[in-house]
Amino acid sequence: RELPQNVALKRDPNASELQQRRYILYYENKQLLHLSPSSTFFISMAAPFHRLTSVSDPCSSGRIFIYNLPPVFNQELLDNCHELDPWNSRCEALSNGGLGRKATGLSGVVPEELIPAWYWTDQFAMEVIYHNRILNHKCRTMEPDSATAFYIPFYAGLAVGKYLWSNYTTKDRDKYCEMILDWVRDEPYWNRSDGWDHFTTMGRITWDFRRSKNEDWGSRCIYMPGMRNITRLLIERNPWDYFDVGVPYPSGFHPRSDSDIFQWQHFVRNRQRDTLFCFAGAPRGAVKNDFRGLLLNQCINASGLCRVVDCAGTRCSNGTSAILETFLDSDFCLQPRGDSFTRRSIFDCMVAGSIPVFFWHRTAYLQYQWFLPNDPKSYSVFIHRNEVKNGTSIQSVLQRYSREEVKKMREKVIEFIPKIIYAKPESGLESIKDAFDVAIDGVLKRNKEHEQPGYKWK
């Protein structure tokens, strides 16, 4: 019969010739009992199987080969971090392996023993975090012939970030991507598949790499022929491009162990929340019919049931506890689109155990399918933006949910917290899979699918 992943049957080496069908049941590599072919047994599914190590091959989905790129594509960008932004140094934001500076001002906001697991992580540091983790991945191989997937550790987001503003030319914005594609096209394993078994991280939104015309924003990296077949991990994807995969924005919580996650889940589950909903953001005065302005007005007029964090200026930049505390105190958090369809605030909100309220399907539902529950209604509320524009009261919609319904939705949010955070250990957690693990498992799975007959490169 089918056994849980952490349970295995092995032939008894001491069985006589007449007992060759006798087996031993193993649980977490420990012998439990002997079984004959006629044995009937039961396994308690109340046992915490998620804490145990599987006896199966941890790399059954495949292995990863990491290209050793010239430093200009990654390390030199970090070494020259003070040049990556036209206005400010990026060195502090990219320190600690991409986690950024350690969080301060959290005493009394989060449990004291969990404060060391918090950092003021930059939303664009994803490439650095992933690179450090892959270097220590249990399924990394130094033999390319045995690889299922080939990782290109190019910091595309850092490379283009400097050139998105001011008077830089389109040539400036495209040069790094052109350089990396020229380099990788000389690699035999690239040519074998035309890039179908390759993947990379691009730590910005997809639209920063999709310039159609010279006068438009961003680089044209994704439109370059060599990039066409590469699986691209981005914090916001184009929902209609198979090779774009949306991964969670880095948030501030980076657990050091499974225990940190369990303790945090317990904390947010039992948190006393005295506010129905909240909104952290700033109105866009220059935007006609600014939707954020509508949300702010509804929140302000909600008779004390809504809490506002006004993010005008730089008040909500990385390095403040005000947003975290607001999310911890609220049942729901309003999540309109940001400068693009997504925003980091979605993940800050959910990590705090608050239930997100969306107004665009593309803000989350069409973005992070590998990381969020399949049923949007199980963990979030959707109110179409046009309903809000036509006068629908957000307060009234949210008040219709019973305490039991809110509790059930919050529990689903809490259940998925491990899948939307990035753990601190570069080797990962003991047994829980975080966002990085989910992303890499997904890449390996789709590359296995690419090996099947019918795919282009086969």
Q: Count Cβ atoms within 10 A of the Cβ of residue 30 and give its class: 0-12 exposed, 13-18 middle, 19 or more buried.
A: exposed
Do 112 and 200 lie in a common domain? yes
**Best CA proximity match to 329, nearest among 310, 345, 305, 312:** 305
Instruction: Say if residues 272 and 317 touch (Cβ distance below 8 Å).
Output: no
**Best CA proximity match to 318, nearest among 111, 87, 82, 93:** 93
Average of per-residue pLDDT across 46-72? 73
What percent of the chain has a predicted confidence (pLDDT) above 90?
A: 74
For the chain, the distance separating the N- and C-terminal CA atoms, rounded to the nearest angstrom, is 36
Query: Distance of CA 62 to CAs 56, 152, 419, 456, Å?
Result: 13, 17, 21, 20
Do 268 and 411 lie in a common domain? yes
pLDDT for residue 19 is more than 70: no
Do 88 and 145 lie in a common domain? yes
Confidence category of residue 98, pLDDT binned at 50, 70, 90: very high
Query: Quick one: pLDDT at residue 448?
Result: 87
Query: Quick one: pLDDT at residue 303?
Result: 85
Average of per-residue pLDDT across 22-31? 40
Helix/strand/coil (H/E/C) assignment for every residue in 344-356: CHHHHHHHCCCEE
Average of per-residue pLDDT across 250-278? 97
Query: Quick one: pLDDT at residue 367?
Result: 97
pLDDT for residue 347 is more than 90: yes
Average of per-residue pLDDT across 243-264? 97
Q: Rounded to 10 degrees, what is the CA torsion of 291, 376, 48, 446? A: -100
Do 326 and 441 lie in a common domain? no
pLDDT for residue 356 is more than 60: yes
pLDDT for residue 183 is more than 70: yes
Do 83 and 175 lie in a common domain? yes
In a domain, residue 175? The reply is yes
Do 345 and 201 lie in a common domain? no
Confidence category of residue 15, pLDDT binned at 50, 70, 90: very low
Instruction: Say if residues 328 and 268 touch (Cβ distance below 8 Å).
Output: yes
Average of per-residue pLDDT across 15-19? 43
pLDDT for residue 52 is more than 60: no
Do 224 and 350 lie in a common domain? no
In a domain, residue 52? The reply is no
Q: Count Cβ atoms within 10 A of the Cβ of residue 242 and give its class: 0-12 exposed, 13-18 middle, 19 or more buried.
A: exposed
Do 103 and 191 lie in a common domain? yes
Query: Quick one: pLDDT at residue 195?
Result: 92
Task: Give the span between the Cα atoms of 85 and 100, in whole angstroms.
Answer: 16
Query: Quick one: pLDDT at residue 338?
Result: 79
pLDDT tens, residue by residue, 363-373: 999 999 999 99
Confidence category of residue 316, pLDDT binned at 50, 70, 90: low
pLDDT for residue 17 is more than 50: no
Instruction: Say if residues 149 and 134 touch (Cβ distance below 8 Å).
Output: no
CATH number at residue 325: 3.40.50
Query: Quick one: pLDDT at residue 311?
Result: 77
In a domain, residue 45? The reply is no
In a domain, residue 106? The reply is yes
Q: Quote the distance between the C-alpha of residue 307 and its chain's center.
A: 27
Task: Give the span between the Cα atoms of 233 and 355, in whole angstroms.
Answer: 25
Average of per-residue pLDDT across 324-343? 94
Do 231 and 276 lie in a common domain? no
In a domain, residue 96? The reply is yes
Do 282 and 220 lie in a common domain? no
Mean pLDDT of the chain: 87
Neighbours of 355 (CB within 10 A): 23
**Best CA proximity match to 385, nearest among 419, 432, 336:** 336
pLDDT for residue 21 is more than 50: no
In a domain, residue 73? The reply is yes
Query: Quick one: pLDDT at residue 286?
Result: 58
In a domain, residue 100? The reply is yes
Q: Which of 31-35, 145-149, 179-183, 324-328 has the lowest mean pLDDT?
A: 31-35
Task: Give the span between the Cα atoms of 245 and 234, in whole angstroms.
Answer: 6
Average of per-residue pLDDT across 73-85? 96
Confidence category of residue 320, pLDDT binned at 50, 70, 90: confident
Task: Give the span between the Cα atoms of 314 and 278, in whole angstroms.
Answer: 19
In a domain, residue 78? The reply is yes
pLDDT tens, residue by residue, 150-174: 999 999 999 999 899 888 999 999 9
pLDDT for residue 31 is more than 50: no
Range of the domain at 273: 258-420
DSSP-derived pairing of the beta strands 101-102 and 119-120 = antiparallel
Q: How many domains does the chain fold into?
A: 2
Neighbours of 188 (CB within 10 A): 7
Structure token digits, residue 172: 């400036």
**DSSP codes joined into one string, 132-170:** HHHHT-TTB-S-GGG-SEEEE---HHHHHHTTSSTT--H
Query: Quick one: pLDDT at residue 3?
Result: 52
Query: Quick one: pLDDT at residue 387?
Result: 96
Do 231 and 270 lie in a common domain? no
Do 273 and 138 lie in a common domain? no
Q: Where are the beta strands (DSSP E) in 220-274?
A: 231-236, 244-246
Average of per-residue pLDDT across 127-145? 96
pLDDT for residue 48 is more than 80: no
